[in-house]
Structure 1
Amino acid sequence: MRTLGLIGGMSWESSAHYYRLINQGVQARRGGLHSAPLLMVSLDFAENAALQHDGDWPALAARMARAAQTLADGGAEAIVLCTNTMHKVVAAIEQAQPRPLLHIADAAGAAIAAAGHRRIGLLGTAFTMEGPFYRERLAAGFGLEVLVPDDPGRRDVHRIIYDELVRGIVREESRAAYRAVIAGLVARGAEAIVLGCTEIMLLVGEGDSPVPLFDTTTLHAAAAVDFIVG
C-alpha cells in the first residue's frame, strides 16, 4: 500500500472523520488487520480561521505549503488537504513539493457526473461559495452548472460552520436553516446538493434534502482509499 499525507486540523472534527473513513475503507478493501498507512500534519484552526477572515491568503498558502513539504519529506506519496476552503491555495501546495494532491472537487465532480447530474447547489464557507476556485473547477472539469444560495442563505451557512460545526455543535434550528437553504436551491433547479465543507456532514443527511446529497468528506476519503490500495 502507498503512504498518504493528510493536512488536517481544519477543523479537527472533520479530520477525525477522514481518519476513520480512510481506515474503514482500507480495512474493507484489504481485509484482515489492515489499516491505512498515513501521515498527518494537524494545524491550529484558530490561526487559519483568523487569516481567512483577514483575507491573508498568501500567509495561508505558505502554511499549507510548509505542511505539505513536511509530509513529503516524511515519506507521503500523495497529499490530501482535509478541507474544501483551503483548496483555494492548492497551487502553493503543488509548487512546494513533488507529490500529487488529490483534489476534493475532483472527487465530488466525478461522482456527480457519474450520477448524471448537471445543475447542482453548493454549500460551504463563504470563501468556497463566493470564490471562483471551486465552482470553476467543477464547471471546467465536469461540465457542471453550480448554483449557490442567496446572500442571507450564504451568511447562515457560513455562520453555522464557524460558530457551531467546527466546534462539534449540532443544533436542530441550524439543521432547519440548512434545510431551508437546500429547498431554495432545489426550487431554482438544483438536481443535487454538494456539501462543500467537510463539517456539513455532521449536520445534514439524505433525509434533509429532496434531492441527492454529495458529501465531499466521504467522497474525498474514498479517493484517498483508492490511492492507498492502488
Structure 2
Amino acid sequence: MRKLGMIGGMSWVSTGIYYDRINRIVQRRAAPMASAPLLIESLDFCELYALREEREWKRAGEILSESAKRLEGAGAQALIINANSMHKLYDDIAANVGIPILHIADCVGKALKDAGCKTAAILGTRNVMTESFYRKRLVAHGVDLLPPNMTNVDIMDSIIYDELMVGKVTRDAERKMKTIITNKSQEGAQAVVLACTELDLIVDVDANVLPVFDSTRIHCQAAANWILDEGSAE
C-alpha cells in the first residue's frame, strides 16, 4: 500500500470521519487486520476559520503549503486536503510540493459523470457555493449547476460554522437540510452535492428525495483507491 498524507483539522470532526472511513475501506478490501498507511497533520482551525479578506486567504495558503511540505518530507507519496473550502488554495499548495494532491471536486465531478447526472446543486460553505474554484471543476465534468440561493447560503454557513464544526448535531439542522434538498428537486436539480465534509452528519445520504453525492465519502473512496494502488492522483 502507498502512504497518503492528510491535511486535517478543518474541522477536527471531519478529520475523524476521514480517518475512520478510509481505514474501513482499506480493511474491507485489503485484509481483516489491515490499516491505511496515513500521515496526518491536524491544523489549528482557529487560524483558518471563516476567511474573508485576500490577506487572510494568502496567510492560509502559506499555512497549508507548509503543512503539505512537512507531510511530503515525512514520506507522504500523495496528499488530500480534508476540507472542501480550502481547495480554493489548491493551486498554491500544489505548487509547493512534488507529489500529487487528490482534488475533492474532481473526485465529485467524476462520480456525478459516472452516474449520468447532468444537473446538480451544491450545498456547502459560502465560498464553495458562490465562487468559481469549486464549481468550475464540476462543470468540467459536464455537470450543469443550479445558481446558489443566497438565503440558503446564510443558512448553510450558520449550520456548518456554528454547529457541525464544533461537533453539534440538531434536529432543527436536519429539518432545514431536508427542506433545502426538497426545494432543489423542485428547482430542477437531478442530484445534490454535499460540498462540506461534515454535512452527512445531518443528511441521510441514502434516503432523500434526490440522489445525494457526499464529497467526504467520495473523497475517502478515492483516497483508499490510491492507497491500494487502484486509482491515480491527478
TM-score (norm 2): 0.94
Give the 3-state SS of the residue equivalent to 2:77 in structure 1.
coil
Letter in 2 for 1:199: E
Instruction: Give the Cα–Cα distance (whole angstroms) in 1 for the partners of residues 15 and 97 of structure 2.
Output: 22
Q: 2:85 maps to what in 1?
A: 85
Instruction: Give the Cα–Cα distance (whole angstroms) in 1 for the partners of residues 158 and 148 of structure 2.
Output: 14
1:24 aligns with 2:24: yes
Deviating more after overlay: 206-215 vs 83-92: 206-215
Instruction: Give the Cα–Cα distance (whole angstroms) in 2 for the partners of residues 164 and 132 of structure 1.
Output: 26
Instruction: Give the Cα–Cα distance (whole angstroms) in 1 for the partners of residues 147 and 182 of structure 2.
Output: 12
- Structure 2 residue runs of 5 or longer lacking an equivalent are 230-234
RMSD after superposition: 1.2
Instruction: Give the Cα–Cα distance (whole angstroms) in 2 for the partners of residues 130 and 149 of structure 1.
Output: 6
Q: Is the 8 A contact 1:18 1:82 kept in 2?
A: yes
Deviations 1:106-163 (A, max 9, x none): 11111111111110010000010011000011102x1111124411111001110000
Instruction: Give the Cα–Cα distance (whole angstroms) in 2 for the partners of residues 5 and 74 of structure 1.
Output: 9
Q: Is the 8 A contact 1:123 1:148 kept in 2?
A: no
Q: Once superposed, which parts of structure 1, at least 4 consecutive aligned residues long, lie more than 6 Å away?
A: none
1:99 aligns with 2:103: no
Deviation, 1:54, is 4.3
Letter in 2 for 1:136: K
Letter in 2 for 1:226: N
Deviation, 1:207, is 5.8
Instruction: Give the Cα–Cα distance (whole angstroms) in 1 for the partners of residues 14 and 62 of structure 2.
Output: 22
1:192-203 counterparts in 2 under 5 A?
192-203=191-202
Q: 2:48 maps to what in 1?
A: 48
Deviating more after overlay: 187-196 vs 207-216: 207-216
Q: 1:165 maps to what in 2?
A: 164
Deviation, 1:204, is 0.6
Q: 1:39 maps to what in 2?
A: 39
Q: 2:212 maps to what in 1?
A: 213
Give the 3-state SS of the residue equivalent to 2:227 in structure 1.
helix
Q: 2:145 maps to what in 1?
A: 146
Q: 2:72 maps to what in 1?
A: 72
Q: 1:10 maps to what in 2?
A: 10
Q: 2:190 maps to what in 1?
A: 191
State the aligned residue count: 228
Letter in 2 for 1:189: G
Letter in 2 for 1:75: G
Deviation, 1:53, is 3.6
Deviating more after overlay: 27-36 vs 9-18: 27-36
Instruction: Give the Cα–Cα distance (whole angstroms) in 2 for the partners of residues 208 and 20 of structure 1.
Output: 22
Deviating more after overlay: 144-153 vs 167-176: 144-153
Instruction: Give the Cα–Cα distance (whole angstroms) in 2 for the partners of residues 20 and 149 of structure 1.
Output: 31
The alpha-carbon distance between structure 1 residues 184 and 16, as it changes in their structure 2 partners (threshold 3 A), is: same
The alpha-carbon distance between structure 1 residues 189 and 21, as it changes in their structure 2 partners (threshold 3 A), is: same
Relative to total residues, which structure has the larger helix share, 1 or 2?
Answer: 1
Deviation, 1:46, is 1.6
Give the 3-state SS of the residue equivalent to 1:31 in structure 2.
coil
TM-score (norm 1): 0.96
Deviating more after overlay: 66-75 vs 180-189: 180-189
Deviations 1:28-56 (A, max 9, x none): 11113111000011001121005x14452
The alpha-carbon distance between structure 1 residues 208 and 32, as it changes in their structure 2 partners (threshold 3 A), is: closer
